[in-house]
Structure 1
Amino acid sequence: MKIALLGYGKMGKVIEKLALEKGHSVVFKSTIDSSEGNFKEADVAIEFSAPEAAVSNISKALEAGIPVVSGTTGWLARYHEMVNLCESRNGSFISASNFSVGVNLFFSINEYAAKLMAPWKEYDVSVEEIHHTEKKDAPSGTAITMAEGILKHSDKRDWQLDSSDEKSLKITAKREEDVKGTHTVSYNSTIDAISLEHVAHSRDGFAKGAILAAEFLKDKKGIFTMKDVLGIED
């Protein structure tokens, strides 16, 4: 599989290393300042850039007829624009807040737990995420996805960052040195507490999942999610 890397920062470099180990090739890579290779040779594009560059990068791939896997967060207010562009071009597109296989299994566990806990109103639910100090968006896209899974089965009306409103699901975002990503869902009552936690030890899990998604997407048409990639039923 010939891969174009749209965004060649820390994640792009890990994806390149693991993709080459799997026998794939990287035919194009770009940053905000430069690019090298032949974009049109690519079978699939993997996009990990910055929120301000994501729409341009995804559009570039879709308009060129190249399937695109996007892991950038912080731009999803324009997600439906990219869906419409993909459909108009009969293209292929996967966007995820997190491509880690473990995190996507955790998403399903989180939703199941939220459904299980829903009748027990004495438990107050909250979400905490911790990332490295270079992460630009807060809360993380992963935390938002977790919150959305909880809200499907909750009386909370929405999620809010650092909110004290009892009607909102509180997300706390922390930034610490060299943290790859820790996400915790807590159910607290006056009697006891229940916590679910996912801790990323390296960026390899995100990169492996993105490559897995690219392998899945190649030669397909349509809009997909990581549930499709992993065969997880709703």
Structure 2
Amino acid sequence: MKIALLGYGRMGKTIEKLAENRGHSIVYKTSSGLKEDELKKADVAIDFSIPEAAFKNITTCFQHQIPVVCGTTGWLEKYDEAVKICKKENAAFIYASNFSLGVNLFFELNTQLAKLMKKFDQYKVDVEEIHHTKKLDKPSGTAITLTEQILANSAYTNWELKEENTSISEKTIPVTAKRIEDVPGTHIINYASDIDDIEIKHTAHSREGFALGAIIAAEFLKDKTGIFTMKDVLNV
């Protein structure tokens, strides 16, 4: 499989190494701008760029019928528009806030726990995420996905990024975002009562889990058309 890497930072370099180990070739990589003649050599594109570049990267791929796997977060106000363009161009697209196998299993666990805890309003939920200091968006896309899953399966009505000394209303899920050097990604869901706490946690040890999941998604997406998710890739 011939892969274009759109965004060649630390994640892009990890994807390159793992993809080549799986027998794929990287035919184009960029961290600034697109050379469409080079892009067209690819069977599939993997985008781990920056929020400001993601939409243009993705839609340019659609125009050339190049399937796109996107793990860039912070651009989702344009997601619905991207989906429309994908369908119009008869292209293929997978977006995930996190491609890690473990995180996607964690998503399923989070959903089931939220459904269970809905009956027990003495427990108040909060979400915490910790990432490296170079992560641009806050909170993480993964934390937003986790929070939205809880909202869909509980009596909470919205979420809010919790800053120091701020108060949060009873129907709002507080989300705490911390930035600590060299932390690949930690996500904690905590249900707290006066008597006890119930907590689930996912801790990434490296970027390789995210990178491998993106490559597996690209392998799934090649030669397909349509909009897919990691639930389709992992059949969960």
TM-score of Structure 1 vs Structure 2, range by shorter chain: over 0.9
Q: Which amino acid aligns with 1:186?
A: N
Query: Tell me, what secondary structure is at the counterpart of 1:49?
Result: coil
Contact 2:6 2:29 survives alignment (8 Å): yes
Match of 2:120 in 1: 120
Structural mapping, 1:1-234, within 5 Å: 1-32=1-32, 38-162=38-162, 164-232=168-236
Q: Which amino acid aligns with 1:106?
A: F
Contact 1:47 1:68 survives alignment (8 Å): yes
Percentage of identical aligned residues: 60
| Structure 2 unaligned blocks of 5 or more | none
Contact 1:8 1:49 survives alignment (8 Å): yes
Partner Cα distance (1:52, 1:166) in 2: 34
Partner Cα distance (1:33, 1:231) in 2: 35
Using structure 1 for the length normalisation, give the TM-score.
0.97
Please give the per-residue CA displacement for 1:133-189, whole angstroms capped at 9, x wherever unaligned. Answer: 111100000000000111111111111110522210110000001100000000000
Aligned length: 232
Structure-2 change in CA distance of 1:37 and 1:29 (3 Å): farther
Q: Which amino acid aligns with 2:45?
A: A
Please give the per-residue CA displacement for 1:177-227, whole angstroms capped at 9, x wherever unaligned. Answer: 110000000000000001000000000000000000000000111000000
Deviation at 1:38? 2.4
Deviating 4+ runs (over 4 angstroms): 33-37
| Structure 1 unaligned blocks of 5 or more | none
Using structure 2 for the length normalisation, give the TM-score.
0.96
CA-atom RMSD, angstroms?
1.3
Query: Tell me, what secondary structure is at the counterpart of 1:97?
Result: coil
Contact 2:34 2:57 survives alignment (8 Å): no
Contact 1:187 1:195 survives alignment (8 Å): yes
Partner Cα distance (2:156, 2:32) in 1: 40
Partner Cα distance (1:19, 1:36) in 2: 22
